[in-house]
Amino acid sequence: MTGRPRLREAIDVATTALAGAGIDSARTDAELLAAHLAGVDRGRLAAIDEPDADFFTRYDELIGSRALRIPLQHLTGSAAFGPLDLLVGPGVFIPRPETEALLEWALAQRLPEDPVIVDLCTGSGALAVALATHWPLARVIAIDDDPTALDYARHNAESTTVEVVRADVTAPGLLTELSGSVDLVVANPPYIPTGAELEPEVAEHDPAHALFGGADGMAVIAPIARLAAGWLRPGGLLAVEHDDTTSRQTIETICGTGCFATITPHCDLAGRPRFVTACRTTGGSARLAGVGAPAPAEARGSRGRPNPKEPA
C-alpha cells in the first residue's frame, strides 16, 4: 500500500487491532482513517511524505475509538453516497450503500426537466441532494421530523435548491397542496422490526428513531404509501426502501391503496430484497410485476444487522 515504513507499520498494527475488535473491514478502515488524517484520498497514501509524530499520536487515538465500534463516518465526519460526500455525525442516520440501488433506479427514470420530487425521512438529505444534483431544475422537498437530522440535511443541501421541511410523515393530511402534482416520491424510512439484532455501530450510535419501524417494520411504510397516493400525479413514481424480510408486506401495503400499477420489488447489490417501486394510476386497480418468493433466511441482512458483506 505504501512505501513509507513507519506509516505502513502503523496501518498494519491498526488493522490487527480493528480485526481483533470484530470489525470485518479492518484494513479498509485503517487506511481510510490514515488518509483522513493525512488529508488525501486513500489511494494517495503511498505518495505522501512520512508523517510526523503528532500524526501517529492522533492516528492511534482514532484507531482506539474505532476499536470501540464508534462508526468510521463519525470519526471522519463524512459519508460517501453515490457521487456525494455528505456531512454526518452523532444524531443522524448514516447513509448505507444499499440505498444507492434505490438512487440508481431513480436516476434512470424519465422525469420532466423540472420535476417535483419528495424525499420522505430524509435524514442527512442523501437522496434529496443526489436527486437535486441530477435534476438541477427540480423542486425537491426533503422531509423529516428530527431536528438534529434536519440540521445535517440543511448543511448538505446548501449548494442545492432542496427545500428542507420538518414534519411527521405519519401525520394524515400532510402538505395537501402537493396533491396530484408530484413526479417522484422516494423514502428510506425506519423499517427495522423492533428487537432485531444490530451491529454495535448501529445499535449504539444511529438514532433509534431512524431505525425501527414497529414490531413488523411497517409502521412508517404504510403512511408513506398513503401520502404518495395523494401527492403523485397519474404516472408519477414511488420508491420505498424496506427491511429485506418485508418485501412482500411492502408490496401488499402499496397494492392495498388501490392507486398504483407495476408494483415491483428490487434487490440491492448484495442480492437482498431492498426496495419496491410503483407507478400511480388514474384508476383504482393495482398490478404487480416481478413478485417472487422472499430471499431465504440465511441470505438476509438489513441496515446494521450483522452481515460479513456489509462494512461497518
Residues annotated as part of the active site: 93, 188-189
Q: Is 188 annotated as a binding residue?
A: yes
Contact predicate 154/164, CB 8 Å: yes
174: its cell numbers: 400532510
Find, among 142, 33, 141, 150, the residue nearest to 91 by Cα. Answer: 150
CA distances from 100 to 13, 42, 72, 275 (A): 32, 21, 19, 11
Give 96's contacts (C-beta < 8 A, 6+ positions apart): 303, 310
Q: Would you say 191 is a known binding-site residue? A: yes
197: CB partners within 8 A, 6+ apart = 305, 306
Question: Which helix (H) or strand (E) is 120 found in, with range?
Answer: strand 116-120
Beta strand 163-166 with 182-187 is unpaired
How crowded is residue 308: how many other Cβ atoms within 10 Å of its Cβ? 8
Rounded to an integer, what distance in angstroms lies between the CA atom of residue 311 and that of residue 38?
22
Task: Read off the DSSP letter of residue 251.
Answer: H
d(CA 103, CA 186): 9
Q: Is 144 annotated as a binding residue?
A: yes
Please report, as a single letter, which amino acid is at residue 297: A
189 assigned ligand-binding residue: yes
- H/E segment holding residue 28: helix 26-38
Task: Name residue 118's beta-bridge partners.
Answer: 141, 185
Q: Which residues are annotated as a binding site for substrate?
A: 188-191
Binding-site residue positions: 144, 188-191
